[in-house]
Amino acid sequence: MENKQASSFIFGIIAIIVGSALYKEFDFENLKFKNIGLGIIYLVVFVFSVYILVKNYKNKVRK
């Protein structure tokens, strides 16, 4: 149980940091990423961390 709480906390921190970096990397005027490669990497990591958080939350609710 402690391991899942620790992983949720870690992935939560990762999601916050990468999400803010992704927000800064996106150019809202042109609706593009400033650096496309970096934006894609940020997006993949952000989606993965949010997926892990949702998965852990659903398992916690079911129990």
- pTM equals 0.83
Place of tokens 């997006």: 43
The whole-number pLDDT of residue 41 equals 96
Q: How many helices (H) and strands (E) does the chain have?
A: 2, 2
pLDDT tens column, 2-57: 566 778 899 999 999 999 999 999 999 999 999 999 999 999 999 999 999 999 88
The whole-number pLDDT of residue 42 equals 96
CA 7 to chain centre: 13
CA 4 to chain centre: 17
